[in-house]
Chains A and B, each alone.
Chain A
Amino acid sequence: MTPRAEIAHWVFASVFLFMGLLLLAEAIVGSEVFRRRSWRAHAWPLLAIAGGVLLWVVTVLSTFSTLHVTAHALWAQAAMIAGGVQLAVVRGKLSDPRWSLVTATAILLSGVSFIVHEQNAWFFARSAFLHHLLGWTLVVATIFPLLHAFRPRRGWQAGLALTFVAMAVMLFADRDVAPIFGHLSPDAARIGQATP
């Protein structure tokens, strides 16, 4: 019943791409113009919530390792909570910019989970490299919602948007046993052999 890893990666790459482009559009034209049609304001938080629900499906189909179950469960909750809080901000139910700290926490935990989830070194294989890169990108990107919480600026929103686009590119590029930069670690290459 386990879905191919790439299917899950690429579906969520699509979700990240849409969220990133929506956020980027808002950062470029400004919230006042962007939110003239209400669906635009609702779109990315709703995508995050829908992505979270979809991640529960991935969670129950990824039982081939405990690590995958727990990591996907964490991402599902992070996406739903961050999306829910952001939607409440858009709807005017939450007004304090410090609610952006919830998004920051969700992104930080997701990044840490990516790093813990990948137990191999950076250059082991392309998937290992990308998982490290995804994790550290998210950890560093925590700075954008964090800054937005205390000094709201369009630039921070653009930073978060570009982070999501970068995440999409990395997830689209993710293949598990492909070599990285033309090089495949000897450890990764030593497959199909009996060891003493």
Chain B
Amino acid sequence: MRRLVALFALTALAVPVAASAHATLRVASPAPQSRLAAAPAVIRLSFDQAVSIGRSPIRVFAADGTRLDGAPRLVDEGRAVEVPVTGFKDGAAYTVRWQAVSPDGHTIFGVYTFGLGVEPPPPTEAVGASGPTWSDDLVRLALFVGFALSVGVIGFRLLVLPAAVPIALERRVHLVSTVAAFAAIDAGVAGLVLRGQDALQLSFVDLLYGDLSPLAERTRFGVAWMVTTVGLGALAALLLLAWVLDRPQLRRPAFVLGLLLLTAYPLSGHQATAVGSGLDERFADWAHLTAATLWVGGLVALAAIVWPLAPELRRAAFVRFSRLATACVSVLVAAGTYVAIDRLPDVADAWETPYGRVLLVKVALVSVALAWGAGHRFVVLPRLERGGETGGVVRSLLCESTVVMAVLLLAAILVNTSPPA
């Protein structure tokens, strides 16, 4: 009975009656990212409460930057803004940029696109947006490294290390993987904000009130961000609880969740929207990313966790990781080759397009990493199995990790670059 009362009290507190909220855009006509059959006479934005407006609350741009909007007016007791529009042409996409003053005094901003007889581009390709820059590439790298150190390290713990390990090692495994999960979330948030800044074309201060919802809710990138943010939050909680509550069984669902979250990127990148892109290509992308994650995470775990904290486990861990790394590298190369052939239909694309050139540099760096890994497999491993010296191995592992992280940077640049096919 007492439990029932407690449950009722919790439910009553958790589902309160709704009242008023911040001013937010509720309905836009035409709708964001919609494809229209006929040209609209007005653009109308409805907010959840009355707003005030300046001279140009709604600006409508054709692809060449021409303004199509007329004089604005407030309707519906200030809850909606309308502008008449003229000059539409069939078969073209248009950009709507809007701003209004919320009752709490904040000027709120937004941008979206729609198409007349054509599919509109995402807001990241709105008129005025310039596309990803080097800062997007760095943020994407941070995201990949965060995933590698979170999912890869916990994968190493499950697949390479024995069930019982020294307490200090266990603690560092969980510390590294949990912190990396948070770092990946932060990198994702930074990535969304950077994309938003480019789409909205606002200064840093105005960007604070920029509406990121069309980007978050109506693009594959945004939906992937939403899923991975909540998923990584749950992953971090599982890893935290696995260590604190001594529940090692929670590591398995955390690892599986991490592998599932990696599917968000093949499903949201350029490849997902390319003509002719199929499930096989997305699976190959996921396998490529997963293999790289396990390889990088395992290298870092071996060098920075096992080597300094558990000398008695070094040899066994190196031998077992060597097998895992061989499998990872095989998958990495096979999936990478499959995807490259698909995206570069003409051999000349490899040196004639920016995508191809970055891919060539990446292949060169992967070759260096593979040669390094082969050195570990065929020189260091036999020496360790004979009980030889282990001096210098940790430095060599860290160098290999650095090369693989440079490969991840190039992967980040590739993700932000459109392939020629």
Q: A6-B20, A124-B104 are in contact. Are A192 and B216 (CB under 8 A)?
A: no
Q: Does A40 have its Cβ within 8 Å of any Cβ on chain B?
A: no
For chain A, the bracket of interface size reads 35 or more
Q: Does B384 have its Cβ within 8 Å of any Cβ on chain A?
A: no
A195 to B74, CA, bound (A): 11
**B104 CB → nearest A CB, Å:** 6
Q: Which of B178, B189, B209 contacts A67 (CB 8 A)?
A: B209
Asked if A65 and B230 sit within 8 Å, CB to CB, the answer is no
Asked if A175 and B20 sit within 8 Å, CB to CB, the answer is yes
Asked if B237 and A80 sit within 8 Å, CB to CB, the answer is yes
**B251 CB → nearest A CB, Å:** 16
Q: Does A140 have its Cβ within 8 Å of any Cβ on chain B?
A: no
A178 to B103, CA, bound (A): 10
Chain B residue, CB-CB nearest to A189: B103
Asked if B211 and A192 sit within 8 Å, CB to CB, the answer is no
| Stretch from A22-30, A86-94, A103-111, A151-159 forming part of the interface with B | A86-94
Q: Which of B10, B72, B185 contacts A14 (CB 8 A)?
A: B10
A57 to B25, CA, bound (A): 20
A71 to B233, CA, bound (A): 15
Interface set, chain A 55-103, CB cutoff 8 A to B: 55-57, 59-60, 63-70, 73, 76-77, 80-81, 84, 87-88, 91, 93
B1-23 CB contact bits vs A (8 Å, 1 = yes)? 00000000010011010111110
How many A-B pairs with Cβ below 8 Å?
178
Q: Which of B24, B49, B104 contacts A120 (CB 8 A)?
A: B104
Q: Which of B19, B105, B217, B229 contacts A1 (CB 8 A)?
A: B217
Asked if B105 and A120 sit within 8 Å, CB to CB, the answer is yes
Asked if B18 and A193 sit within 8 Å, CB to CB, the answer is no
| Stretch from B132-140, B240-248, B358-366, B391-399 forming part of the interface with A | B240-248
Asked if B52 and A193 sit within 8 Å, CB to CB, the answer is yes
Q: Does A31 have its Cβ within 8 Å of any Cβ on chain B?
A: no
Chain A residue, CB-CB nearest to B234: A53
Q: Which of B19, B79, B208, B237 contacts A65 (CB 8 A)?
A: B208
For B413, list chain A residues within 8 Å (CB). Answer: none
Asked if A194 and B189 sit within 8 Å, CB to CB, the answer is no
Asked if B10 and A119 sit within 8 Å, CB to CB, the answer is no
For B73, list chain A residues within 8 Å (CB). Answer: 194
Q: Does B280 have its Cβ within 8 Å of any Cβ on chain A?
A: no
Asked if B108 and A64 sit within 8 Å, CB to CB, the answer is yes
Which one of B182, B213, B215 has the greatest number of beta carbons of chain A within 10 Å? B213
For A66, list chain B residues within 8 Å (CB). Answer: 193, 196, 207-210, 212
Interface set, chain B 227-275, CB cutoff 8 A to A: 229-230, 232-234, 236-237, 240-241, 243-246
Asked if B209 and A192 sit within 8 Å, CB to CB, the answer is no
Interface, chain A (partner B; CB < 8 A): 1-2, 4-7, 10-11, 13-14, 17, 49-50, 52-53, 55-57, 59-60, 63-70, 73, 76-77, 80-81, 84, 87-88, 91, 93, 119-120, 124-125, 127-128, 175-178, 187-188, 190-196
| A-B residue pairs in contact (CB < 8 Å), sample of 29 | A5-B20, A5-B21, A11-B14, A49-B240, A49-B241, A56-B185, A56-B233, A64-B24, A64-B211, A64-B213, A65-B211, A65-B212, A69-B212, A77-B182, A80-B237, A80-B240, A124-B105, A125-B104, A127-B104, A128-B104, A175-B19, A176-B103, A187-B105, A188-B103, A191-B78, A194-B54, A194-B72, A196-B54, A196-B55
